[in-house]
Chain A
Amino acid sequence: MMPLTGDIGDKAAVLPEIAGIAPAPDLPGIEVTEAGEAGGIGGLGMIIWRVFAENKLALVSIGVIVFMLLYCFVGPHIYVTPQANFVVTSVGQVLAHPSGQHLLGTDPNGYDTVGRLMVGGATALEIALLAAGIATVFGVFFGAVSGYAGGVVDAIMMRIVDTVLSVPTLFLLIVIAAILHPSFWLIVFIVALAAWLVPARLIRGETLTLRTREYVQAVRAMGGGGSRIVARHIIPNAVGTIIVNATFQIADAITLLAALGFLGFGVPAPGTSWGQMLSDGVSYAQEGAWWLIYPAGICIILVVVSFNYIGDALRDAFEVRLQRR
């Protein structure tokens, strides 16, 4: 998917008084002026955090993510009811309406929806985080190598990215899933396959500008090899771009995973994910079982919105860091 705010958004963020995309970072409020260069990582980290913390929505988003992580990963240890791997308890428990015993009712298999949301969320978050992580690492190296190498190597590597980007993702991923049959790691791989392209492009762009910088030329003059320059000088200097993009990649991975799950290419039963829960609940929802679709859908939206807000706020924060240089 396209980023919510593209390059133009970046530029607009430089002019906070006109942009106002998020509550505008209050530049004069930050007294640290020299820290950007003299204070090292700690000083920079402080500036970034302070600008980030200005954005209240982003702080709320962090709260939402922390809550969701606790709910999905710690929740199952506290809230113990017939959940993921339990056998149906009794016929009376199938498709039960929300009640004191089952806060969000039960599904056609007699699973408790609150517990099922934890299991599905854990799967969705695990896959999304793993896929976004793998994709970012691979994309960053691909982009850095491509940008640093230049010439024919760069041209070939970027045509590969163009090609994969031009194939509608969902079609490609479903063909692979249909041929190879979905398992947890296959889905991680598939989502990562769609997610590495944007970081690769971004980092290539960063590399093209960074490689002309004096310090990179100095390393080269001192006899530093290409791999050293890429690993020690180019990638660390692109870290802001990398982190911001990784945040958006997580959001996109959750959406993509939900779509795959909805279309029937999710983790094998008895596992589930939010998208799969929605897909399983649709036919019952038409008969009034609203609790089978709305909670899962709202969970997806909450998590995706939160990651997008965090990404936006992080970008504003790193933007300020660049200005301070």
Chain B
Amino acid sequence: MIGYLIRRVIQAVIVIIGVCAITFILYHLFPGGATSEARIILGPRATAPQITLFLNQNGLNKPIWTQFFILVGHVFTFNLGYSYKLNEPVATIVMQKLPKTVLLLGLSTLVTVIIAIPLGIFQVLRRNKPSDYALTTLSFIFYATPTFFLGIVLIQVFAIHWHLFPPEAPQSASVGQILSNWRGLVLPVFTLAAVYIAGFSRYMRSSMMEALTEDYVRTARAKGLSTTRVNYVHALRNALIPIITLLGLTLPAIVSGALITESVFNYPGMGLAFFNAAINNDFPLLIGTVVVAAMATVVGSLLADILYAVLDPRIRYV
């Protein structure tokens, strides 16, 4: 177990250094190099001394390897640069926005799991019956629906046509206030969850189906246990384990989905901050957000793998 954990953490650290390398490449993508980057960030009216000052402050005139190590140091100390457009350090902006995005992601994941798992089990129990085929078709359609299109349709139907829920997410400053305004959360959370409900229920269906063919299920049946007990105690418990891995693997996609959902519903989280930064050419904020999103994903996947190892003893000794 300890050996596995150590190996897994080292792998995560390597990936984070890789993320730094990608960030570094992004900074050097600017056509025309550091000077034009400075000009884009400082604006077209920046004077030559201002640009020189910017280059010096950010170490952009140092040798390329030194620059890379400075960047790695910055990432590990959470020093993400300064947004010249919003006049705030990127880290401060991230600290304000991150909890709200975590709330959105957490609720959506919860809704996904709560709906998808029973749905998958239901399909297995009624396999190859019309209800199974109907749900499979439905999940294929939801899986293919772009998140933003679903969001737009939900706004059209539930907000504009039926006035059931507000078309915009709560604009409150804190997580607690957003939660107290739960009606505004319903549409964004469901929009983000829908694709994953489709994917997870399909996966749950196959996972459960596979578990039912395992030897221990046959043994349990041979012992004369009731079908309910075999299904829910023996098969289900084992079928649930791969779902945790799937959660870890899906995390990057869910974070991308949050970006779209937040911009459709004007939800004041990281995704919207990123989107606005992209429109306003706020490059320090843009790249800082990517780093945070990537780091959060790496940590999330790490946690999922650790949880997996805790739950499935076979993994610990590999």
Contact = CB atoms under 8 A, between A and B. Distances in A.
A285 B290 CA distance: 32
Contact of B148 (A18, A164, A262): A262
Contact of B15 (A162, A176, A285): A162
B242 interface: yes
A264 B279 CA distance: 8
- Interface-central residue, B149, B156, B160, B202, by most chain A CB under 10 Å: B149
Interface of A is mostly: helix
Contacts of A8: 203, 206-207, 209-210, 242
Interface residues of A, number: 57
Nearest to B274: A171
Contact of A285 (B26, B140, B152, B294): B152
B18 A2 contact: no
A162 B11 contact: yes
A305 B140 contact: yes
Interface string A159-170: 110111111111
A305 B198 CA distance: 12
Contacts of A71: none
B83 interface: no
Contacts of A19: 206, 209
Given A169-B253, A170-B260, A180 B31 contact: yes
Given A168-B297, A282-B152, A297-B149, A179 B144 contact: no
B240 interface: no
Nearest to B204: A8
A323 interface: no
A1 B298 CA distance: 16
Contact of B256 (A168, A175, A176, A177): A168
B144 A166 contact: no
B29 interface: yes
Interface in A1-24: 1-2, 4-6, 8-9, 11-12, 15, 18-21
Nearest to A169: B256
Interface in B139-165: 139-141, 143-149, 152-153, 155-156, 160
A304 B156 CA distance: 23
Interface of B: 11, 14-15, 18-19, 21-22, 26, 29-31, 127-128, 132, 136, 139-141, 143-149, 152-153, 155-156, 160, 195, 198-199, 202-203, 206-207, 209-210, 212-213, 242, 246, 249-250, 252-253, 255-256, 259-260, 263, 274-275, 278-279, 281, 283, 286-287, 289-290, 293-294, 297-298, 301
